[in-house]
């Protein structure tokens, strides 16, 4: 009896050969199956497999024994689908290939993509063919590393690598910047290290207010989000070192008085709030929001200050980003 290929098994059997509940599980399963196949190609029988632990940042060998009887197989008691037998080394390699194919299959990885990913990609400005041109696993990691642009390049969409949750950044042109269209106060320019065509630079002003609005229905459900101002300072900067700004992240019209104070000067903030993004920009956390079912309405991310006795300039804004953040347990 020949070794059945994955496509000949029921779809449910392929996707439940091994527990694949998260992208990380599928990647690890694919790696382990690859090691099994390499071992099967090099030894006659497998009683134990040696795994090099450099994948886990440890340079030593460990022995791992995993028997087929110890795996959780869908329909394992159905002879039409599974047969228990002893296999020579060539067939062991074939079985490992089947398991790896299951872990890398479109059926598995499409479950890790958002349910509306095709609609999002179809509305992007430059990547509308991604959903059909790439295998689902490649598409998943492409969206983790290369955001796509939507809403006429005023917003970017990406995935969080670990969970597949949605991440959005509202670019400067998509923000509501008070007096942003007045050339005496704000200058619109292009920077090579920005993902967006334009960024906003504060020329001279005493009143500062920046808002991002995003519908909660497009965010991932049952997810705690944090909002971050993505910014840098120009060659000449003044007025932000001692200015305490008020930030808030809340559903518009609800809890609109809940704000926290923060400084854009890194030396004045705690390490938990301020980060160097290592892409030429800095970010500071503005607040958090738990998106339960996506039916709360419009989420407002606000940063403001009014000081009639002080002026400021030199702040460059790329956008405001929302991405998942783990909630701290009490």
CATH number (domain holding residue 255): 2.60.120.260
SS3 content of the chain, % helix, strand, coil (to 5): 25, 30, 45
pTM given for the model: 0.75
Examine the domain organization and report whether 170 and 318 are in the same domain. yes
Q: Give the 3-state secondary structure of residue 274.
A: strand
- 70 phi and psi, to 5 degrees? -90, -5
> What distance in Å separates the CA atoms of residue 17 and residue 5, rounded to the nearest whole number?
13
Of 242 and 199, which is predicted with more confidence? 199
Examine the domain organization and report whether 88 and 168 are in the same domain. no
Examine the domain organization and report whether 105 and 165 are in the same domain. no
Structural domain contains residue 213:
yes
Structural domain contains residue 133:
no
Q: Give the 3-state secondary structure of residue 118.
A: helix
- Identify the band that residue 236 occupies on the pLDDT scale cut at 50, 70 and 90: confident
How many domains in the chain? 2
Q: In what order do the strands lie in the sheet with 176-177?
A: 176-177, 207-215, 298-306, 245-251, 260-262
Q: Assess whether pLDDT exceeds 80 at residue 170.
A: yes
Examine the domain organization and report whether 295 and 201 are in the same domain. yes
Mean pLDDT of 284-310: 87
- Identify the band that residue 91 occupies on the pLDDT scale cut at 50, 70 and 90: low
> What distance in Å separates the CA atoms of residue 268 and residue 262, rounded to the nearest whole number?
8
Residue 185, domain extent: 159-324
Structural domain contains residue 150:
no
Q: Which of 35, 43, 51 is nearest to 100 (CA)?
A: 35
Structural domain contains residue 46:
yes
What is the percentage of the chain residues whose pLDDT exceeds 70?
64
């Amino acid at each position: 009896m020949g070794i059945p290929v994955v496509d000949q098994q029921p779809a449910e059997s392929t996707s439940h050969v091994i527990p694949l509940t998260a992208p990380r599980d599928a990647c690890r399963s694919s790696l382990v199956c690859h090691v099994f196949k390499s071992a099967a190609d090099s030894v006659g029988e497998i009683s134990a497999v040696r795994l090099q632990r450099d994948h886990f940042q440890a340079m030593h060998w460990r022995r791992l024994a995993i028997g087929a009887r110890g795996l959780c197989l869908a329909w394992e008691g159905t002879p039409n689908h599974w047969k228990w037998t002893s296999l020579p080394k060539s067939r062991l390699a074939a079985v490992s290939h089947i398991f790896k194919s299951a872990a890398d299959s479109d059926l598995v990885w499409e479950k890790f993509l958002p349910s509306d990913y095709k609609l999002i990609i179809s509305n992007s400005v430059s990547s509308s063919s991604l959903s059909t041109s790439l295998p689902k696993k490649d598409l998943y990691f492409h969206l983790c590393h290369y955001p796509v642009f939507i809403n006429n390049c005023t917003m970017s969409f990406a995935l969080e690598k670990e969970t597949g949750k949605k991440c959005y950044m509202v670019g400067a042109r998509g923000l509501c910047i008070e007096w942003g269209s007045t050339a005496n106060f704000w200058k619109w320019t292009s920077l090579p290290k920005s993902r967006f065509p334009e960024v906003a630079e504060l020329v001279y002003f005493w009143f500062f207010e920046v808002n991002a609005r995003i519908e909660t229905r497009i965010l991932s459900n049952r997810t705690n989000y944090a909002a971050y101002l993505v910014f840098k300072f120009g060659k000449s900067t003044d007025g932000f070192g001692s200015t305490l700004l008020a930030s808030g992240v809340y559903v518009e019209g609800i809890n609109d008085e809940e704000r926290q104070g923060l400084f854009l000067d890194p030396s004045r903030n705690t390490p938990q709030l301020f980060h160097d993004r290592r892409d030429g920009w800095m970010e500071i956390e503005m607040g958090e929001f738990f998106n339960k079912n996506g039916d709360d309405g419009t989420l407002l991310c606000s940063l403001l200050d009014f000081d009639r006795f002080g002026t400021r300039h030199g702040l460059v804004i790329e956008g405001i980003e929302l991405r998942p953040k783990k909630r701290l347990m009490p």
